[in-house]
């Protein structure tokens, strides 16, 4: 492609895909973002230059959406209604996914990438996910694939499984899309930032089900987990979520910092989140992992012409 790639994102969060495109050094124009969280919008403005920032995409006129070559959306997990449908057929209308589908239908990007929590695959016994795939494949102009990927399999030691759906427009496809191969993780210790502050754990943690994990000197632990649900906290950080202040850095005797949160999501040290610690942790916890979307976009853009 001789001109810059035209890119649009919905449910943009803090724009992990745009960070990934910068790292890929692909010339692009950031046509639009969309976000309803005012703190995410402030973070987008502080770090990126989209031509348009839409608010709620449920209230957006599709005619206002510019043409794009690449579309990315981390839409929320919503079950579809069966009201009024024969044989329990799911209806995506009235959901954020339906608005994503409208963008794909009307703008026909060369490539789209959709992301969601892995629970989307099994919600409603898998019927909602089946409806999503059927809706995308019914467009007939895309080769559509999906897979659950774990951040920890792609260089960054965080246990974070998410489902990705990739569509390549058939008339621009020069070779089939293939999912990235796993790569070794960097040591978890590399993600610890040395800080001169201490935040001791309350005494009751040492007599609770967490005591064994604490005594084993894991690096990061989620204080909200039970003794049966903590993962291999020596080598892999538990999943970072929007349930912010529960992540604790045992090796430093303090709660995890915002920079550590962002680093374990693949963001560079130069990235500037906007808002309080609480808002910043929520933004990082809701984001796509940059390292994963980086590899997906690298392969996807090599598949098109």
Q: Residues with catalytic annotation? A: 77
CA 272 to chain centre: 18
Among 38, 39, 20, 159, residue whose Cα is nearest residue 30: 20
- For 262-296, b/e burial (b = at least 16 CB within 10 A) is bbbbbbeeebebbbeeebbbbbbbbbbbbbbbbbb
Specify whether the CB–CB gap between 91 and 70 falls below 8 A.
Answer: no
Q: Is there a contact between 12 and 44 (Cβ–Cβ < 8 Å)? A: yes
Length of the chain: 305
- Asked whether 236 and 157 are in contact (CB, 8 A), the reply is yes
Query: Token pair of 201, please?
Result: 């754990």
Cα angle value 301/132/39 (rounded, 5°): 70
Alpha carbons 277 and 283: distance in angstroms, whole number: 10
DSSP string, 139-183: T-SEEEEEEEEEGGGBTS-B--EEEEEEEEEGGGBSS---PPPPB
Residue 28 is inside which H or E element, if any?
A: strand 28-34
């Amino acid at each position: 492609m001789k001109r810059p790639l035209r890119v649009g994102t919905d449910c943009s969060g803090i724009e992990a895909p745009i960070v990934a495109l910068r790292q890929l050094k692909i010339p692009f124009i950031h046509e639009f973002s969309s976000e309803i969280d005012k703190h995410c919008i402030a973070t987008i403005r502080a770090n990126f230059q989209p031509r348009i920032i839409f608010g709620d995409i449920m209230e957006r006129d599709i005619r206002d959406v510019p043409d794009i070559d690449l579309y990315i959306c981390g839409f929320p997990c919503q079950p579809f209604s069966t009201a009024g449908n024969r044989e329990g057929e799911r209806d995506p209308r009235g959901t954020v996914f339906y608005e994503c589908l409208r963008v794909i239908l009307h703008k026909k990007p060369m490539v789209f990438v959709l992301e969601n929590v892995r629970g989307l695959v099994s919600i409603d016994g898998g019927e909602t996910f089946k409806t999503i795939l059927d809706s995308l494949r019914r467009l007939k102009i895309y080769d559509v694939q999906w897979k659950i990927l774990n951040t920890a399999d792609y260089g960054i030691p965080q246990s974070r499984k998410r489902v990705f759906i990739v569509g390549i427009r058939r008339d621009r496809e020069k070779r089939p899309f293939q999912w990235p191969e796993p790569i070794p993780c960097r040591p978890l210790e590399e993600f610890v930032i040395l800080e001169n502050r201490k935040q001791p754990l309350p005494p009751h943690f040492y007599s609770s089900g967490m005591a064994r994990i604490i005594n084993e000197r894991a690096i990061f632990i989620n204080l909200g987990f039970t003794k049966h649900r903590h993962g291999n906290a020596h080598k892999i950080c538990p999943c970072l979520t929007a349930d912010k202040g529960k992540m604790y850095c045992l090796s430093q005797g303090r709660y995890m910092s915002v920079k550590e949160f962002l680093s374990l999501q693949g963001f560079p040290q130069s990235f500037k989140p906007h808002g309080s610690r609480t808002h910043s942790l929520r933004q990082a916890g809701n984001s796509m992992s940059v390292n994963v979307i980086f590899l997906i976009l690298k392969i996807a853009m090599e598949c098109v012409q």
